[in-house]
Amino acid sequence: MNDTAAPLSASVSTPLFAWWHANARDLPWRFGRTTPWGVLVSEVMSQQTQMSRVVPYWEGWMAVWPDAASLAHASKAEVITAWGRLGYPRRALRLQECARAVADECGDELPRDYDGLTALPGIGDYTASAVLSFAFGERIAVVDTNIRRVLSRLFLGVESRGGAASPAERELANRALPEDAARSVTWNQAVMELGALVCTAKAPACDVCPVAHRCAFLAAGRPGLGERRTRPRQRFQGTDRQVRGIVLDALRKLPGDVRGGNAGAGASLPRVQVERLWKDRAQLDACIASLDEDGLIEIQPDGSLRLPA
């Protein structure tokens, strides 16, 4: 593998970049139209949520909290409410923790280095790399699921494995990265977009792929296509995720939430109404307990629930 990526990246970048310029989705955090903080918010929202679904949430969020300092001062109830149905709402509270650290310790400016970014709450390797590349234009390999899948297929001719990125996959991503910083940013974005729109996990559209002529996976007859999906699709109906979502949704809709202009005022859902939210009481109670543990709700002494202040 060591000698594979560098020469091939040069040979595919021209058609790939042309494809990117013609097909890149016009997302509001792209093309230098937002701040580094706005890029970070988009990356946190896009983890585990499709980018197209993220757009209205990101726009609403940034209109209210355009920077870390403004988010730092919001109430938890406002933050959880604005997160809406993006899913995995703990991300909202982590993002606010991050905002507080940036506002209090970094002068309301995101650090411009990997160590500074990964020292922030909730910021791991992927998000730090994405912010350095997409917001600051630094030369750094971004390794997410889409990029791993595309690079593995294109250069190695095999499906990428599930789980965390392997050292070999990181090395491949580093070796494929163009030397020039500006080109490296385009490369990261274009490979990621190709993975989202064309080289998808289950049904890659090789007939319209701009790099099909150099793709080792296609040349090999697409061996084991989709066999090792990076993450099996999870059933949602009846899961704790669904129940947690139902409880949070009921609390968001209470009169006096942020949308009612009374942010964090603490309207509560009485216990009798809580019990009507889900038939399986044991599951409902377990989910309420886990939401409480995660700091996403508060349980009142009378058993009623509310969003945290």
Q: Which residues pair with 298 in a beta bridge?
A: 306
Among 101, 132, 198, 269, binds ligand SF4 (CB under 6 A): 198
Calculate the alpha carbon distances from 74 to 111, 197, 252, 264, 275 in Å: 22, 36, 15, 9, 30
- Residue 41 in contact with ligand SF4, rule: CB under 6 A: no
Q: How many alpha carbons lie under 13 Å from residue 156 in its C-beta half-sphere?
A: 18
Among 44, 82, 99, 209, binds ligand SF4 (CB under 6 A): 209
293 is known as an active-site residue = no
> Residue 71 phi/psi, 5° resolution?
-65, -35
> Binding string, 132-161, against ligand SF4, x = CB under 6 A?
------------------x--xx-------
Strand positions, DSSP E, the chain: 298-299, 305-306
Q: What's the one-letter identity of residue 191?
A: V
Q: What is the total residue count of the chain?
A: 309
Please work out the total of residues on this chain that contact ligand SF4, with binding judged by CB under 6 A: 14
Among 77, 128, 132, 212, binds ligand SF4 (CB under 6 A): 212
- Residue 215 in contact with ligand SF4, rule: CB under 6 A: yes
- Residue 218 in contact with ligand SF4, rule: CB under 6 A: yes
Contact between 178 and 5 under an 8 Å Cβ cutoff? The reply is: no
- Residue 172 in contact with ligand SF4, rule: CB under 6 A: no
Instruction: List b or e across 250-271, with b for residues whose CB sees 16 or more CB atoms inside 10 angstroms.
Output: ebbebebbbeeeebbbbbbbee
Contact between 16 and 214 under an 8 Å Cβ cutoff? The reply is: no
- Residue 286 in contact with ligand SF4, rule: CB under 6 A: no
- Residue 204 in contact with ligand SF4, rule: CB under 6 A: yes
Query: The tokens 């940036």 sit on which residue?
Result: 102
- Minimum Å gap between C-beta 12 and ligand SF4 is 9
Strand, helix or coil for residue 269: strand
- Residue 110 in contact with ligand SF4, rule: CB under 6 A: no
Among 199, 251, 287, 307, binds ligand SF4 (CB under 6 A): 199
- Minimum Å gap between C-beta 277 and ligand SF4 is 43
- Minimum Å gap between C-beta 16 and ligand SF4 is 9
Which residues are marked as active site? 43
Q: Which positions lie near ligand SF4, rule CB under 6 A?
A: 150, 153-154, 198-199, 204-206, 209, 211-212, 215, 217-218
